[in-house]
Amino acid sequence: MNEQEDRRYKRTEAMLRDALMTLLTEKPINKITVTDLVKKADVGRGTFYLHYTDIDDMIGHLHDACLNRFMPLLKRYSGEPDIEPFLFDLFRIVEQERDLLKYFPQDSDSVLYKALKNFAKEKCAHDWKELFNASDDKIDLLFPYIFNGTVGLIKHWLTDLDCSIPAADMAYYAKDIIFNSYHFISTDIGPK
């Protein structure tokens, strides 16, 4: 594919994505048809099928692209004791992808949730062992608390607050909440 064809391909994908986002404000995802989408995007059916096999395939591609925005973030900040830059980038990506993220399943069975949770758990276990000499038992207790709390905070910011608080401020608030939890992992407190 030459550069001009690549630009057209990307432009068409953007038109299809924008049309899907508009349609999602009008009806549930399971009620959107290819006909609805191509009409809204003002492209032919054949053009749609050059990109995707059906609506579910398109959603899958968008889902994967969104997930691919988050994974390098987790890798980039591995081993960093200061989590504020990570949280700032996390909230910035959520803000940029908010139109799409609002329509992905936000429960613990979603592919995005599971992938992020598995990757984050591996990263946190490694980092917390290095930074705090944390035991596996404490990691097993603290990780769900921090991960689910952060996901809950993001969901609240995304859906209930419609990202009305700046991403940088949300990162700061999340950092304070998480930082106060580190006391548990870095001390010998608990039942004897």
- Quickly count: other Cβ atoms within 10 Å of residue 117's Cβ: 17
CATH, residue 8: 1.10.10
45 and 70 inside one domain? no
pLDDT at 107: 61
Look-up of token digits 């609805």: 36
115 and 152 inside one domain? yes
Instruction: Read off φ and ψ for residue 176, nearest 5 degrees.
Output: -60, -40
Domain that holds residue 79: 62-186
Q: Which residues contact 43 (CB under 8 A, 6 or more apart)?
A: 12, 15, 16
76 and 165 inside one domain? yes
Residue 19 resides in a domain: yes
Tokens of 183: 């006391």
DSSP 48-114: HHHH-SSHHHHHHHHHHHHHHHHHHHHHHTTT-S--HHHHHHHHHHHHHTHHHHTTS--STTSHHHH
7 and 92 inside one domain? no
33 and 99 inside one domain? no
pLDDT tens across the length of the chain (192 residues): 677 778 888 899 999 999 999 998 899 888 999 999 999 999 999 999 999 999 999 988 988 888 888 888 877 876 666 788 888 999 999 999 888 887 766 666 677 778 778 878 887 888 888 888 888 998 898 899 999 999 899 989 988 888 999 999 999 999 888 888 877 777 765 565
Residue 11 resides in a domain: yes
The DSSP call for residue 26 is T
The number of distinct structural domains making up the chain is: 2
80 and 22 inside one domain? no
68 and 45 inside one domain? no
pLDDT at 123: 79
Residue 56 resides in a domain: no
Residue 192 resides in a domain: no
Residue 92 resides in a domain: yes
